[in-house]
Structures are given as C-alpha cells and as structure tokens.
Structure 1
Amino acid sequence: MHVPAEDLAAVADAAHAVMREAKAAGVYVFGGGINAAVAPLRVAADGTVTNETWPETKALDGGFCVLQLPSRDAAIQWAAKIAAACRCAQELREFGDDPER
C-alpha cells in the first residue's frame, strides 16, 4: 500500500464505508487493524517465546476483515471492493470449518 500521506484520510473513509456496507449486508463477522506499536511474538509448541515473526514475513502491515459469504465469487467481489477502497491489492483466504462445531 503506497498512499501519499495527504490521501490517507480519504482511503480510511473509503475503507470504513465498505465495512459499513458489509455490515449492512449482514456479511461482516469481525475485523481490525494490526497494532504496529506492539512487536510480534512467536510462541513455540513447548511454550518458548521469541520476539520475532516468521522469517518469510518481511512486514505485516494493515488489517483484516472476516466476512461470511455464500461463495468464492462473492468473496472475490468483496475483496475487489476493499481493494478499490484501500487502493491496494488484498489477500483473500478461506477459513476451514471447525469439524467439531
């Protein structure tokens, strides 16, 4: 995301408008931003904690939202709306269902 500082307020307004649209459509589950003021931790299976992220991760910036949608096509359409609002590409992931639910 490479947005000039003077455009950040407009991008935030556009992104919030898309989230309001998702809420009004009843597809919004939850979302939020990454708190850049708090460094990432990695916690191993044995409980060891290190002040780092995965070596493959160069930077984790921005936020995320979880939408409950009827199809992958619908997810792509919402991701496109978010990408247009944020002026940057979005990574689309799918949650797997909890088999014990």
Structure 2
Amino acid sequence: MTKFLIAFPAAAMVVPAEEMAAVDCDAHAVIAQTKAEGVYVFAARIDGGLPPVRVSADGTVTQGGYPAARPLDGGFAVLERPSHEAALSWAARFARACRCDQEVRAFGFDPQS
C-alpha cells in the first residue's frame, strides 16, 4: 500500500474564531475514523514556535528554510491507502472537517528505507 500525505498550509484555514472548536472536534473525529479503519500512519501540525533551520553537509546551521520555497506550516496526516482515489476520499473528509482544501501527495517507496 502507498502512504499518502494529506496537508494544508496554515493560511488556507480561514475560519471564524467561533467555529474553531467545531473544526477541532471535526478534525479529531476524522483522525479517529482513520485509526478505526486502520489507515492511520500519523498526523500533526507544524510547530510554528520553533523556526526552521537548514543544516548543510558540513554541519553548518543556517536560520530559516529554503529561501525559494514556500513556508512549511499547517497540518497534515499520513495515511496508508491502496490507491490515489482512496486517498482523495479521505482528503475530502479532512477538507470538510478543516473547512479548507487539502493537498494530496504520494510518498515514493524505497525498499531500502
């Protein structure tokens, strides 16, 4: 089975403050469904309180992520599904729960990893 990343950037989640409790409840309900159905790998949000750093091959640490890349923030889930279509179905559930579009990507399998 393929592992799929279902994610959204923080800026995509434009929800009125009075709806946030419902969003939180709905998102946790979808996560509970993924666990109950055995498709859950893990889920989380990027911790915005710890800024990104880049570490070079020589060990040099530079503050910030890649300059040309959009910031990595928001929330994500990794699910194991038999097909892209099955992952899209879960992405739709997350989109309803989080009140924002979800991006879906497949992880490439490396048998040596």
Amino acid of the structure 1 residue aligned with 2:31? M
Query: Is 1:7 aligned with 2:23?
Result: no
- Kindly provide the CA deviation profile for residues 31-62 of structure 1, in whole angstroms up to 9, marking residues without a partner as x: 11111111111112222211101223443332
Of the three residues 63, 77, 102, the one matched with 1:65 is 77
Amino acid of the structure 1 residue aligned with 2:18? E
Of the three residues 27, 42, 55, the one matched with 2:67 is 55
Determine the structure 2 residue equivalent to 1:89. 101
Determine the structure 1 residue equivalent to 2:58. 46
- Kindly provide the CA deviation profile for residues 55-101 of structure 1, in whole angstroms up to 9, marking residues without a partner as x: 23443332211100010000000011101100011111111112225
Q: Which has the higher contact order (CA 8 A, sep 6+)?
A: 2
* In 2: Cα distance, 1:10 partner to 1:61 partner: 21
* In 2: Cα distance, 1:91 partner to 1:45 partner: 30
For structure 2, the residue ranges without an aligned partner over 5 or more in a row are: 1-12
Q: How many residues are treated as equivalent by the alignment?
A: 101
Cα RMSD after superposing both structures: 1.3
TM-score with structure 1 setting the length: 0.91
Moved over 6 A (4+): none
